[in-house]
Amino acid sequence: MEQEQIARKISDAINTFGLREKQIAKLLANEHPTLQQNFMNIATAFIIEMSRKIYVDGRNQASVDKAKRIVAGMEYEDIEGQCPFI
């Protein structure tokens, strides 16, 4: 599956009101350890990308601000590296 298709499937899945982020996070945190690593890599890369956004408006301002605060607290290795695929 191409990267664009994966991104679209994720976007489609979360494009809903009433999304229970904490419940979804808990379920993902109990997936197979390798899947946890893969998801953590995606989440970290997303946060880093959001912190670099130039165009921001009222719909994503809070996300960009939060991402910048998270990245500011990260170690260099966290920003440049990924969790290992084991």
pLDDT (0 to 100) of residue 30: 98
Q: How confident is the model at residue 24 (pLDDT cuts 50, 70, 90)?
A: very high
Query: What pTM was computed for the model?
Result: 0.88
The DSSP call for residue 81 is -
- Predicted confidence (pLDDT) at residue 41 exceeds the cutoff of 90: yes
pLDDT (0 to 100) of residue 86: 74
What is the residue whose two structure tokens read 């601000």? Answer: 65
C-beta separation of 19 from 11 below 8 A:
no
Query: What percentage of the chain carries pLDDT values higher than 70?
Result: 100
Lowest mean per-residue pLDDT among 9-13, 48-52, 66-70, 76-80? 76-80
* Distance from C-alpha of 59 to C-alpha of 50, rounded to nearest angstrom: 13
